[in-house]
A and B are shown apart, each in its own frame.
Chain A
Amino acid sequence: DSGVTQTPKHLITATGQRVTLRCSPRSGDLSVYWYQQSLDQGLQFLIQYYNGEERAKGNILERFSAQQFPDLHSELNLSSLELGDSALYFCASSVGPGDDDGYTFGSGTRLTVV
């Protein structure tokens, strides 16, 4: 157990639907990062939050949104889902940017869009 909890582990949904992925960071970590991993694109950075505020945005589609709550857990919302959104979605956390311990990753949510 890495200390980063992601739920659900698996999600199967239909095109056009909306889903919410949840992440609880490791205790004491203020930064949360979301990544998408697919076979063809590799690990793509989506978005980062630090202590409730959005800090950096990557290749995140407009159909996707995220937030970090006062208790530091984060949610990634994916809407109008397409087949191409099928991927592993990882949440990672760190104490803050530049943390020497690197990122701690959760075990991921495997999203399958059918």
Chain B
Amino acid sequence: SQQGEEDPQALSIQEGENATMNCSYKTSINNLQWYRQNSGRGLVHLILIRSNEREKHSGRLRVTLDTSKKSSSLLITASRAADTASYFCATPLTQGGSEKLVFGKGTKLTVNP
């Protein structure tokens, strides 16, 4: 079953605009991660935010985490055509003493030049 769910499923914006994607999850977590996937390629780790952090920045990326609402958001500022990709949130799920990442179905972002 999916742990995280992204919203919206698809987002289309103009270059220069900001893009916001949301993720909701079900169980308590110790961190939440965001990944990007260009069409048909492997996923690339973007940022990890810990459960005791509320906000984290990396370049044009800003991630927030609200553990009371079990939700996170990824903001991409001043978007570029090269940001066109699918974005996934992932949360670790502990199983039998080991941890695996469970991914949502992603938000497909299209940035139009």
Determine if B80 is an interface residue (Cβ-Cβ < 8 Å). Answer: no
Looking at chain A's contact residues, the main secondary structure is strand
- Contact assessment for A48 and B106 in the assembled complex, using a CB-CB cutoff below 8 Å: no
**Closest chain A residue, CB of each to CB of B97:** A55
Looking at chain B's contact residues, the main secondary structure is strand
Interface string of A93-110 (1 = CB under 8 A from B): 000011011111111101
- Contact assessment for B98 and A103 in the assembled complex, using a CB-CB cutoff below 8 Å: no
- Contact assessment for A102 and B100 in the assembled complex, using a CB-CB cutoff below 8 Å: no
Interface size band for A: 20 to 34
CA distance A35 to B106 in the complex (A): 15
Q: A42-B106, A45-B102 are in contact. Are A102 and B45 (CB under 8 A)?
A: yes
- Which 8 A-B pairs have CB atoms at the shortest separation, nearest pair first? A102-B45, A105-B42, A55-B98, A97-B99, A43-B103, A42-B105, A56-B98, A105-B43
Shortest distance in angstroms between A17's beta carbon and chain B's nearest beta carbon?
23
- Contact assessment for B40 and A45 in the assembled complex, using a CB-CB cutoff below 8 Å: no
Determine if B2 is an interface residue (Cβ-Cβ < 8 Å). Answer: yes
Tell me the A13-69 residues at the B interface (CB within 8 Å).
33, 35, 42-43, 45, 48, 50, 55-56, 58
- Contact assessment for B96 and A42 in the assembled complex, using a CB-CB cutoff below 8 Å: no
- Contact assessment for A56 and B45 in the assembled complex, using a CB-CB cutoff below 8 Å: no
